Structure 1
Amino acid sequence: MFDTATTQVIEPVPPQPPARRRTRGLRVLFTGLLTLLLGGTALVAIEPLRRPLPAPTVTQTLPASTIIPGTAPAVPWPETGQAALSVEGLGSLGTSGGSNPVPIASVTKVMTAYVILTEHPLDRGEHGPKLTVSAEQAAAYPRELARGESLVAVVAGAVFTERQALQAVLLPSANNMARILAAWDAGSVEAFVAKMNRTAAALGMTDTHYTDPSGLDPDTVSTAVDQVILARKAMQLPAFAEIVAQKKATLPVAGTVRNYNSLVGRDGVVGIKTGSTDEAGGCLVFAAVVKVGGRRITIVGAVLGQPGANTPVQLDRVFRATRPLVRTAAAAITEHPIVRAGDQVATVRGPLGTGTTINAAKDLTVVGWPGMRVRLDVDIPAVPTRLPAEAEHGRVSAVAGEGTPVATALRTGVGLEPPSTWDRIRQHR
């Protein structure tokens, strides 16, 4: 017989998952987290690089104006009468004696000549058209002479060129030739006087009124200021400036005549016109030329109402009053450096602390006198983020008084560079 035994059944246990699978999962998780972290950091770093850099800002450090240093010139004005003094292209040195219209005697002939030359222009040296003295004009000469007028000898049928007639008016101050010229131009003296007054109004001579072309009539009145306005315009006419600078001329019938203005040729004086009557006293409108820094500067002035018993005394006194004015103005006009080469004109502030300066490339020098205001104008284009050192960028100009602007270029100081990538990232951390 066989023994019977009981059999025990053991259930199988499933194996554990491999350890490497768990490690791989952790690695994937870690890699994902790291990717997210690095991606976020990259986004943070790239974000400021996407933003455009702000444009550099410019701050002007040069003032808008300045005053020429030193003591303003003390002008020796005459004790009596009126006076005005001006420098062409710069402005007025002042006036004295008020602004009431007063008789101006033969200074009137400046307007007579100005109207003739604007109606019948002449170049330097040109004689122009001819005019013939009529029998009536010649017959008036003895009567005019008996009145003690300033004249040139004429006869019926005498022929004068326009230049010769103007020489007679402006040098020996011929009243009769002023009337002859007036009738030649306008048909009558009255019509010509109307032209004179229209011209005065057009020039802004608000305190001037003409009643005759010679100035013999005391009702012809003006002011020193108005006569300077006219003189400045007249001196721009080549033939006028040429004639008033002459000391003498040769005319038909009269022969050689001399300029009553004895200042011509002294102290740079180049004209313009004398005048004297009992009512007007001694009068002079004058121009003088000085050279400053290679430039020719014209001084223009007027002195009216200098006392005296007769023409020689009146003219002597007006000459004595005028010479100090001319000398003072000539001495006062000099060159003045307003901006020096290398002077800072502006600062430039770029993004993230970058920057440079903008400086004058050369000296900027004006002509004027102490106490005169000088206007300064700076023109600087928009500044890019990159600009080399010593690069030309803009201009600065200066204007003294009423003068013409002078200018020089501007240059950068150190180079202007945009901030680096690292600086831009670090700035926004």
Structure 2
Amino acid sequence: MPLTRQQIYHRRRIVVFGSLALLLAVLIYLPLTLLAPLERAAAKLTPFSVAPPVAVELTWPRSGGAAIGLLGDDVLLARTGSEEPLPIASITKIVTALTVLDAHPLAEGEPGPDITFDQDDIAIYNEYVAQNGKVVWVSSGTTFSQLDTLKIVLIESANNYAESLVTWAFGSEAEYLKAAQAFLTEHGLSGTTIVDSTGMSPQNTSTTADLVELGRLALQSPVLAQLVSTSETDLPGLGTIDNTNILLGVDGVDGIKTGTLDEAGACLLFSTDFTIADETVSLVGVSLGARNHDELAADVRGLLASVEANFADVQLATAGQVVGELTTEWGETAQIVVAEDYREVMWSETPVTALVTTRDVTTGSAGEEVGVLSVTVGKKTAEVPLELATSVGDPGPWWRLTNPVPLLF
């Protein structure tokens, strides 16, 4: 039976609208499919760890207490013996010098104001002679600059000049002690007690931890850092004065202060530098309570040798080292690798952690940065770039057409 006009009309409408719908679907489908953003590649990370250097047993002094720390850090590397306050003898004079400079600052190379000594200073001299304390001659009318007076106090360790210096700076030893306590409180040295400017009293005490921090404070002062490293110097009217620290210049020792007292034994607050893989390692340490200064010197040298052996130049990350792999929906893979070497001179017992962080990747070229490896050594964190070992290419139109956009289908 032939189709009626109305049937033909309906069929034509179906064909036309069907064709339009198909054309519209194609026009929408093709751009959405070919231009749709790709899903990010799945990242599978490889566990990353770093083995620290092998620890070498430290050779600690035979008696008393001792500690060692990095100059530029605020933690101890290691300590031994008593953690309670111990007598510190003439190491006390470092507190004296720091407190005086806090009240009367000196720029590096500046001599400071003149100090004229009188009969009161002669009386102070006689008092310390009577106590069998270390003294340097003084006469009425003698004048030294503030800097030269500090030299006599720190290099020659003269007790009479220490008291005369604080009397000039604060008006009396009693007022100095108030200033010293304020200085100690300000710097968190709660384990330190100072009862005089010289260290003659065994009640001048400190912990080994506080003393390492005290050494750091001294070396932060360019004036004191220069003075404590001076082996000898000439002063008008006195001639040559010699540093009491017999280890100066030995095994890199460049400071800081000796101390000797019956109740304290032989003591040394010291600093030293040594080189590991072209990097200078600066240390501050202390040893208290040795029987004499020869024993003290031998003990400190043994300790420093074992401390140096605990530092090593460690390669913490290597260029090309694999830290993960990317896999795309279309089956392409690429390794994530470390972009450059990273090394660090480190103490054997310093904790090391590593964290791999990657950004979202769909496609990318070989060598393109795709994340960072954060390596933390103690308190220091470094970020090492991560890159693609090979390119991740676009899957192409055929894969896109055969993998339609999920939201539409």
Shorter-chain TM-score above 0.5? yes
CA 1:191/1:59 → structure 2, altered by over 3 Å: closer, same or farther? farther
1:59 and 1:289 map into 2 onto residues whose CA distance is 44
2:108 and 2:91 map into 1 onto residues whose CA distance is 22
Q: What pairs with 1:89-104 in structure 2 (closer than 5 Å)?
A: 89=72, 91-104=75-88
Higher mean alpha-carbon deviation, 405-414 vs 348-357, is at: 348-357
Matched, 1:389 2:357: no
Q: What pairs with 1:80-159 in structure 2 (closer than 5 Å)?
A: 80-89=63-72, 91-159=75-143
Q: What pairs with 1:344-383 in structure 2 (closer than 5 Å)?
A: 344-378=322-356, 380=358, 382-383=359-360
2:101 and 2:23 map into 1 onto residues whose CA distance is 88
CA 1:116/1:363 → structure 2, altered by over 3 Å: closer, same or farther? same
CA 1:350/1:92 → structure 2, altered by over 3 Å: closer, same or farther? farther
2:268 and 2:296 map into 1 onto residues whose CA distance is 7
Q: Is contact 2:76–2:209 with CA below 8 Å preserved after alignment?
A: no
Name the structure 2 match of 1:7. Answer: none
CA 1:204/1:355 → structure 2, altered by over 3 Å: closer, same or farther? farther
Q: Alignment RMSD, CA only?
A: 3.1
Higher mean alpha-carbon deviation, 99-108 vs 122-131, is at: 122-131
Matched, 1:53 2:38: yes
Name the structure 2 match of 1:9. Answer: none
Name the structure 2 match of 1:326. Answer: 304
1:89 and 1:379 map into 2 onto residues whose CA distance is 29
1:44 and 1:214 map into 2 onto residues whose CA distance is 90
Residue 237 of structure 1 aligns to which amino acid in structure 2? S
Cα offset, 1:40, TM superposition: 8.9
Q: Is contact 1:73–1:369 with CA below 8 Å preserved after alignment?
A: no
Runs of 5+ consecutive residues of structure 1 not aligned to the other structure: 1-15, 308-313
Q: Is contact 2:53–2:311 with CA below 8 Å preserved after alignment?
A: no
Q: Is contact 1:155–1:253 with CA below 8 Å preserved after alignment?
A: no
1:375 and 1:132 map into 2 onto residues whose CA distance is 58
Residue 73 of structure 1 aligns to which amino acid in structure 2? V
2:103 and 2:96 map into 1 onto residues whose CA distance is 11
Cα offset, 1:222, TM superposition: 0.8
Residue 316 of structure 1 aligns to which amino acid in structure 2? D
Secondary structure class of the residue paired with 1:326: helix
Matched, 1:209 2:193: yes
CA 1:140/1:50 → structure 2, altered by over 3 Å: closer, same or farther? closer
Matched, 1:289 2:266: no
Runs of 5+ consecutive residues of structure 2 not aligned to the other structure: none
CA displacement, residues 201-238 of structure 1 (integer Å, 9 cap, x when unaligned): 22222211110111111111111111001101211111
CA 1:106/1:383 → structure 2, altered by over 3 Å: closer, same or farther? same
2:252 corresponds, among 262, 268, 272, to 268
1:115 and 1:425 map into 2 onto residues whose CA distance is 79
1:205 and 1:417 map into 2 onto residues whose CA distance is 61
1:372 and 1:109 map into 2 onto residues whose CA distance is 33
Q: What pairs with 1:184-223 in structure 2 (closer than 5 Å)?
A: 184-223=168-207
1:213 and 1:205 map into 2 onto residues whose CA distance is 17
1:305 and 1:174 map into 2 onto residues whose CA distance is 21
Cα offset, 1:415, TM superposition: 1.8
CA 1:192/1:418 → structure 2, altered by over 3 Å: closer, same or farther? farther
Matched, 1:233 2:217: yes
Residue 339 of structure 2 aligns to which amino acid in structure 1? A
Name the structure 1 match of 2:403. Answer: 427
2:130 and 2:278 map into 1 onto residues whose CA distance is 51
CA 1:397/1:165 → structure 2, altered by over 3 Å: closer, same or farther? farther
CA 1:206/1:139 → structure 2, altered by over 3 Å: closer, same or farther? closer
Secondary structure class of the residue paired with 2:198: coil
Higher mean alpha-carbon deviation, 207-216 vs 340-349, is at: 340-349
Cα offset, 1:94, TM superposition: 1.2
CA 1:356/1:261 → structure 2, altered by over 3 Å: closer, same or farther? same
2:155 corresponds, among 162, 166, 171, to 171
CA 1:410/1:319 → structure 2, altered by over 3 Å: closer, same or farther? same
Cα offset, 1:344, TM superposition: 2.4
CA displacement, residues 304-328 of structure 1 (integer Å, 9 cap, x when unaligned): 1123xxxxxx222221221111111
1:280 corresponds, among 250, 261, 264, to 264
**Which structure has the bigger radius of gyration?**
1
Identity across the alignment (%): 31
CA 1:275/1:130 → structure 2, altered by over 3 Å: closer, same or farther? same
CA displacement, residues 234-265 of structure 1 (integer Å, 9 cap, x when unaligned): 11111111111111112243221101100000
Count of residues in correspondence between the two structures? 402
Q: Is contact 2:129–2:135 with CA below 8 Å preserved after alignment?
A: yes
Name the structure 1 match of 2:56. Answer: 73
Q: Is contact 1:366–1:406 with CA below 8 Å preserved after alignment?
A: no
Cα offset, 1:183, TM superposition: 1.5
Higher mean alpha-carbon deviation, 152-161 vs 52-61, is at: 52-61
* TM-score with structure 1 setting the length: 0.83
Cα offset, 1:346, TM superposition: 4.2
Secondary structure class of the residue paired with 1:140: helix
Name the structure 1 match of 2:392. Answer: 416
Secondary structure class of the residue paired with 2:83: coil
Q: Is contact 1:212–1:220 with CA below 8 Å preserved after alignment?
A: yes
Secondary structure class of the residue paired with 2:220: coil
2:385 and 2:84 map into 1 onto residues whose CA distance is 48
